[in-house]
Structure 1
Amino acid sequence: MAQFAFALSRYEQFKNTIAPTAVRALLLRDAASRPEGLEHGEPIGIAAHATWRYLFEGLVVASGACDPQALIWSIRVIGVLMCPDASRHQAVREHCLAPIIREGRTEVREEVRDRLSGAFPEDPRFSRS
């Protein structure tokens, strides 16, 4: 889950390189034992692109999210909850727990400000501008 959270956090940056990178990795691995017809990697490339595109888009649609970034919070929380000991798992601390703590504070602050500005619209301390 931590690695999935990491991938989602970098989605916009790497979305056009994920499938080609997977293809290169597959082509480099076990090059001598590749079946006939897969020597040049075209079927592997098609499969990697289709898998990435349809699997990822399917996950986004199934989650009810319209944006891949909307999934990241759920995945981070699940990663933390699933981990038996985050103190021993750097990936969980780095890609799930730290962003929750760092970005969660901002989310909570914004939510509190929104609620206070709605409750006290005349008070300039809670103004959104």
Structure 2
Amino acid sequence: MTSANYTHPKPFVYTQATVERAKRSLICSPFKLALFLTMQTKSVPVSAIAMENGIKQGYTQRPLSELVCDNNLNWLIQVGVLRREVDGQGITDSFRLTPLGNQLLEKLQQPELPIPTLGDRLYDTFIRWVRLPF
């Protein structure tokens, strides 16, 4: 039996369309870069992002209800940027970055997320509305 080599893991390879969709969804989200940087090292529960907590932590620009947070975080799961944290009891209300999310943050390397264009916002809204995988 061969053993796995974890000292030099190969990065996941994603199609350009997948990376572009994930990047567009990331920059169109109501969240700030600080949230995603935190998610690189630890999981973040919805309660830390929602309402006034999100503003205090620097995760959002305006207060978001838990429902709005959860919907936006679930969309980022669907496009491959985030994943739900799992513990011994099952799925939790906390989120972390996926390998794709980590790759996106490495490529962006800016003090803030880029401002999405009107076209980015319209395209992201349309894709979310019809839930097409492109």
Say yes or no: TM over 0.5: no
TM-score, structure 1 length as denominator? 0.33
> Normalized per residue, which structure has more helix?
1
> Normalized per residue, which structure has more strand?
2
Larger radius of gyration: 1
